Amino acid sequence: MRRSAALVLVLMCGGSLPALAVSKGKALYVGGTISTIQERTQSPIDIKNETSLKYAGLSIPWRSVSEVEYGQKVGHR
C-alpha cells in the first residue's frame, strides 16, 4: 500500500514538471506589466548584447535595468 501511494505521488508531481520546463536558450515570461507579451510565453532571450536585453521582440536598455533575478524555480518573486 505504501509503495503504490508513493508511486502515485511521484507520478502526480512528476507530471507537472514538463509544464515548467523551458527550452535551452529561452526564458519563460510568467507575467508582469508588459501587456504586449502574454503570460507563460516562452521566447529566446539575448543577454549578451552590451546595450540592451532582447526578449520576445522587446529591447530593454541595460541602463534602465536596476535589478535582475533568475533561478531554477519559475514563478513570481
Q: What is the pLDDT of residues 34-44, one digit of tens each?
A: 889 898 899 99
One-letter amino acid of 14: G
Listed by start position, the domains of the chain span 22-77
* Model confidence, pTM: 0.58
Q: Which residue is associated with the grid cell 502574454?
A: 38
Measure Cα distances from 72 to 1, 2, 17, 20, 21 in Å.
33, 31, 12, 10, 10
Q: What is the pLDDT of residue 23?
A: 84
* Residues of the chain above pLDDT 70, percent: 66
Span between the terminal Cα atoms of the chain, in Å? 38
Instruction: Please enumerate in sequence order all residues whose Cβ is within 8 A of that of 41, keeping only pairs 6 or more positions apart, or say none.
Output: 28, 29, 56
